[in-house]
Amino acid sequence: MIDRTVFKERFVKWVLVAFALSSLLFLFLIFVFILSEGLPLFHKIGVKNIIFGFKWAPTKGYFGIFPMIISSFLVTIGALIIGAPMGLSCAIYLSEYSGKKMKMFLKPALELLAGIPSVVFGFLGVIYIVPLVRNYLGGSGFSLISTSLVLGVMILPTIISISFDALVSVPKTYREGSAAMGATKWQTIYKVIIPSAKSGILASFILGMGRAIGETMAVIMIAGNALKIPGSILDPLRTLTGNIALELAYATGDHRLGLFSTGVVLMVIIMILNYVANFGIKRKIAK
Amino acid sequence: MRLRHWAIILPLLCVFLVSCSPNSNDRPGGKHTITIAGSTSVMPFTEKLAEHFMVDHKNFIIDVQGGGSTAGIQAVINRTVDLGMSSRELKEGEKTLNTITICHDGIVVVVHPENPVTAMGLDQVRQIFSGRISNWGQLGWKNRKIDAVSREEGSGTRSAFEDLVMKGKEINDATMVQDSNGSVKEVVATDPYAIGYISMGLVDKKVKPVAIDGVSPSIKTIKSGRYKIVRPFLYITNGELDPKARQFVDYVLSKEGQTILKNEGLVGFYD
């Protein structure tokens, strides 16, 4: 009987190990496939002509994605300008001011917000935000500002939950020390808590950026997908993710490889962002 | 304890059963499978035809897939499908294949219903999409930027539009891009200053068709050859057609099949 129990324990352990490794395997496979499909075109067309090329006409042999790289960063920064102050304020309220009851209500609400599918955000954006922008600000409404607004809301849960964790993990003694010096609550938050949670808060912004830059469905629906670098916040734009999803259906040959190359660039950008964010979080733990 | 085992075994069993289900090609009961792939413009109509066809021909299974004209033609060359669908003429290097024209489709330039502009010259349409004309004031309406909407690179509708309207001129980079006829229509239906182009079969009250060079798009003007922005919907075959697939093609070309296409807003061979 004991043998059987021991065997069972071991069996369960190995099954879990296999599943744990399988997620690593998937990551590895995705890497291999994207690189093996995307890199040949870099070789053929030239890295410079793809990354710094201004013209995208894959059926005619032009694969420049520079405008899309810029556009991706523009919407991401726009989303951050809108989402970061809101998210950080919410996190500060949750960790410093709100009572238990409020927290019990707000936290699940935020989780719900995180769970809303992006196509729903896109749909609401097309129905409400796009006409609003068109009527009151001008342009077609399919624009940098509409996309930034919607993405700003979409990255809220990421920013709030990670910066909340960072704020909560500031030791209680800091707060007590500050209060003992005669500081008010806001002075404590502003001068003590935020500076000591700084790296975690920055990490939350960077992960929010990662979320915004990878968002596809909502962006395709709202951004207008024009190839030009937007000249104003009312101009349409096309992001890297949008480019892949828009053209995938019909792409063959080099066109298809061009989309994979877009994927390679996107992957590198997201890897850098994640690396920077992890660096921030690690420093916090080391402290 | 036993329940927990089942919780693991049942999903596994399901996966196993699904993966073991017979391939469509050797389905039992003497059913014939016809695979068709290609243009997403032709696909919805082929699906409709296949539905009607399978009602009368119970022993047929018609598998219709998208992928785009080029992918469909490639699949015919590789003989991975019985029939290819294309919304463009064959290019050099594809000319060894046979084409069957099943109907014609007009591409219609559409604007918002509130837009007072009802007619344009073909050259004006070209100038709008190449960026030379960018203001509705230049066409005799408000002084307001034109929100031009195009289709994505690789789309059959776009390449037909490029051939028939742009004629070598490039579509401007600042033009918005949507990834289906439906979303182009949605944008034009909601933005009063938009202009786009869609398949004639999809035009309804939400958008207003524009007359080109004095000819408004309709089945009649397309048949008489006066409306020029027309593309063929083709079925592509490689060599002799398999007799089973032949039966389906004959049905499509029959009066019954053509009536279905006509009801969908396409231009068939009968009146």
CATH 3.30.360.10 fits A56-286, yes or no: no
pLDDT at B135: 93
Cβ <8 Å between B179 and A249: yes
Is residue A212 within 8 Å of residue A162, measured between CB atoms? no
Contact residues on chain B for A226, CB-CB shorter than 8 A: 173-177
pLDDT by residue, tens only, chain A of 287 residues: 668 888 899 999 999 999 999 999 999 999 999 999 999 999 999 999 999 999 999 888 899 999 999 999 999 999 999 999 999 999 999 999 988 888 889 889 999 999 999 999 999 999 999 999 999 998 889 999 999 999 999 999 999 999 999 999 999 999 999 999 999 999 999 999 999 999 899 999 999 999 999 999 999 999 999 999 999 999 999 999 999 999 887 777 788 899 999 999 999 999 999 888 887 666 655 55
Distance CA A78, CA A16 (A): 42
Q: What is the DSSP string of A122-177?
A: HHHIIIIIHHHHHHHT-S-S-SHHHHHHHHHHHTHHHHHHHHHHHHHTS-HHHHHH
Name the residue in chain A with its Cα closest to that of B73: A252
CB under 8 Å to B220, separation ≥6 — which residues? none
Identity of the residue in A59, A226, A251 whose CB atom sits nearest the CB atom of B176: A226
pLDDT band at B5 (very low <50, low <70, confident <90, very high): low
Distance from CA of A139 to the nearest CA of B (A): 7
pLDDT in tens, B101-156: 999 989 999 999 999 999 999 999 999 999 999 999 999 888 999 999 999 887 88
From residue A132, give the alpha-carbon distance in Å to each of A64, A138, A190, B140. 33, 9, 36, 26
Once rounded to an integer, what is the mean pLDDT over residues B221-238? 91
CB under 8 Å to A287, separation ≥6 — which residues? A196, A199
Note the pTM of the prediction, 2 decimals.
Answer: 0.81
Distance from CA of A126 to the nearest CA of B (A): 9
User: A246 at the B interface (CB within 8 A)?
Assistant: yes
Identity of the residue in B71, B145, B152 whose CB atom sits nearest the CB atom of A247: B152
pLDDT at B257 over 60: yes
Question: Which candidate in B41, B74, B147 is best for mutational testing of the A interface (most A CBs within 10 A)?
Answer: B147
Identity of the residue in A140, A228, A238 whose CB atom sits nearest the CB atom of B194: A140
Distance CA B227, CA B165 (A): 12
Phi-psi region of B128 (alpha: psi -120 to 50; beta: other; left: phi over 0): alpha
pLDDT at A204: 93
pLDDT at A285: 56
Distance CA B206, CA A57 (A): 31
pLDDT band at B52 (very low <50, low <70, confident <90, very high): very high
What is the residue-averaged pLDDT of chain B? 86
Alpha helix positions (H), chain B: 2-20, 43-56, 69-77, 122-130, 156-161, 181-190, 219-223, 243-253, 255-263
Q: Is the dihedral of CA A111, A115, A118, A120 positive or negative?
A: negative
Q: Which two tokens stand for residue B41?
A: 């413009």
- Give the H or E element holding residue B65: strand B60-67
For chain B, what percent of residues have pLDDT higher than 90? 50
User: B45 at the A interface (CB within 8 A)?
Assistant: no
Size of interface A-B (CB pairs under 8 A): 86
Phi and psi at B66, nearest 5°, equal -90, -135
User: B13 at the A interface (CB within 8 A)?
Assistant: no
pLDDT at B237 over 60: yes
pLDDT in tens, B11-44: 555 555 555 544 444 444 578 889 999 887 888 8
Once rounded to an integer, what is the mean pLDDT over residues B168-191? 91
Return the half-sphere exposure (C-beta side, CA atoms, 13 A cut-off) of residue A18. Answer: 6
Distance from CA of B82 to the nearest CA of A (A): 20
Domain boundaries, chain A: 2-46, 56-286
Distance CA A95, CA A164 (A): 6
Name the residue in chain B with its Cα closest to that of A231: B174
pLDDT at B25: 46
Cβ <8 Å between A139 and B186: no
Name the residue in chain A with its Cα closest to that of B72: A250
Cβ <8 Å between A58 and B153: yes
* Amino acid of residue A104: M
pLDDT at A95: 92
Phi and psi at B41, nearest 5°, equal -75, -35
Distance CA A38, CA B195 (A): 35
Cβ <8 Å between A249 and B68: yes
